[in-house]
Amino acid sequence: MHNWLINPAVVFIIILALLFILNRLGKEIAFHSDKFKPGCSKSYACGENNFDNTAQPDYSTFFPFAFFFTLAHVATLIITTMPIADAGILVMAALYIIGGIMGLYILLRK
C-alpha cells in the first residue's frame, strides 16, 4: 500500500528536506555578532600565537602499542571464534597462541 515510503530515494529526499529545514531554523536562532573581531580569522593552536605548521609528532612509542593492541585483539578474536570440532582445530588454536606469545615477547623485550 505505502511501499513508496520505504524506497531509499524517497527516504533520502525526505531526510535531506528535514535536515535543510533544521539548518535554516538553526541559522535563525544562532548567535550572530555585529562586531568583527580581528583575531577571528587567525588559526588557533592551543593559545599559542606563534604557531607554525612544522610540528613533527614522535610516533616511536605509538607503533609498539598499536602492534600490541592489534596482536592481542586479533589473536583473541581468532581463538574465540574457532569452533571446537576436532583436535586439529585445537592444535591450530594452540599454534596461534604460541605465535601470539612469541610476537608479544619480541615486542616487549628490551
- Give the cell for residue 87: 583436535
Find where cell 608479544 sits: 104
By the 8 A CB rule, do 99 and 74 touch?
Answer: no
pLDDT for res 69? 87
pLDDT for res 78? 82
pTM score: 0.40
pLDDT, mean over the chain:
79
Instruction: Indicate the pLDDT class of residue 88, thresholds 50, 70 and 90.
Output: confident
pLDDT for res 46? 64
Find where cell 578474536 sits: 77
What DSSP character marks residue 37? P
